[in-house]
Structure 1
Amino acid sequence: MQQPPDPVPALLDGPPVQTSDAQDLLLGYLEWYRETTLRKIAGLSDAQVRAPVVPLGWSPLGLVQHLGWVERRWLRWGFAAEQVVAYPPGGDDEEWTVAADVTVPQVIAAYEAEVGTANSAVGAAALSDKARLGGRFTAPGPAPSLGRILFHLLQEYARHAGHLDIARELIDGATGE
């Protein structure tokens, strides 16, 4: 006897298929892409995760470090108006380049700490809540809503997950979600 098809097919990504609330969808997909970022570098050796990928010019670990800064800029300094250092003193080069004396677990721990602090900063906020003034935004006009910020982060993560797909395939041929 043939089994009927599953009424709710498994998703390849993101929050559960039953999720329909916009905030739950944005946060669910953002979390999925955060996890994807770390999944994409899992299994690489120290040398592989640190070496700039030709022709891209950045290392997978550098991209993770960059995303930690992105979290800090948009959710802590931007939305919550925390008084934090938003950019490393060395600019883009320092943001994307992991110092030789910094270990892979240190970069991942710093990234995960930024994600945790960012999640706390938006925990009880509504999508329509505007960014607080005094951090990244100093006037009400340019201060975006949390929904706008989360949407921006979601597209940034999606783009960088694609970059990691390419990097990983160039490094060791691995492909997939």
Structure 2
Amino acid sequence: MPAAGWTSRGVLPLEAVTTGVDADDARSARSWNLVELRPDRVAVTSWDGTSLRSIDVAPGLHLVTHEGPDHLDVPRVHRWRPAFLDVPSPIGPLDGATAASWEPWLRTLRSTTTVPADADEAIVRIDDHDGLRLASLSVTALSLGPDGAVLRNARLAEPGHLPEELVWE
């Protein structure tokens, strides 16, 4: 732990859009990944406790975990990325006329709950780490296209458990 204590990771999105992420702030925070959306690029900036790095991601589907985007050595990415790649990308909002385009993606997400929430392959997770119980608290859906971005969040009523129906905010 840094001598002055940990810096909240909550400041990172604000820094990213105003001044850019400061490497000194990164060193005083626990590890993190930040997906940055800009008109000319999409990047994942990461701090792993040792180094700060930024990786541009190409158009397409990406699974971002503690290791960054698309690390096939992470069991849940290795197991589920092919399933997500097999379904069409959703288009438009999660409500109204385009909501149905999200159903194959959501059905695939639901299928990931066939493994226990504490399994290495689980997407919606419950982990015990350093004496703490860490659990998925929400699902975020993001679709980017030429017409803009669609970003929705659904909070999970029971941490680490995906309900049949999600309530999108």
TM-score range, shorter-chain basis?
under 0.3
For the pair shown, the structure with the greater C-alpha radius of gyration is: 1
TM-score, length-normalised on structure 2? 0.24
Q: Which has the higher strand share?
A: 2
Q: Which has the higher helix share?
A: 1
TM-score, length-normalised on structure 1? 0.23
| Larger RCO (alpha carbons 8 Å, 6+ apart) | 1
